[in-house]
Amino acid sequence: MIYDIVSERHAPPYKINRPQDIYAVLKRYANARTEKFLCLTLDGAHQVIKANIISIGLVNRTVVHPREVFYPAIIQNACAIIISHNHPSGRLDPSPEDRDITDRLRQASEILGIALLDHVIIGRTGYFSFVEHGLLTPPTPD
């Protein structure tokens, strides 16, 4: 089940230029008691179409499958996605499972032609960007 967390807006679209912009959109989840896995769908200009909660887990993990991550991207006609989740523990470093799901989603994004731009872990003290730390290389524009 996918939960809509941003309704249609009447204000100008919010554009993502850097990881700080992602954190600004999703920081309200930094203090959540349970882990939430999120997917921002973006148009061709990297403006947010919608922020989607893909899954809600426990205090230290959540189940994520590429099928559920890319479903909203497909039905919302997204050109790109950014994935994110919070760490209720407050630690920002990625777990081996975080690295694994990022790689699986990167592979799926290549097959589907929907760019995976970043994976951002959010917490009380800030964020961790896979792109900024060299763990994910965003696709080059065609």
d(CA 41, CA 84): 11
**Residues sharing a CB contact under 8 Å with residue 9, sequence separation 6 or more, in sequence order:** none
Phi, psi values for residue 31, rounded to 5° = -100, 10
Between 9 and 130, name the one with better pLDDT: 130
d(CA 36, CA 100): 17
Q: What is the mean pLDDT of residues 97-101?
A: 95
Between 101 and 139, name the one with better pLDDT: 101
State the CATH class of domain 13-129. alpha beta
Between 5 and 89, name the one with better pLDDT: 89
Residue percentage of the chain with pLDDT more than 90: 80
For the chain, which residues make up each domain, given as ranges?
A: 13-129
Structure tokens at 87: 């760490």
Give the pLDDT band of residue 7 (cuts 50, 70, 90): very low
Q: What is the mean pLDDT of residues 58-71?
A: 87
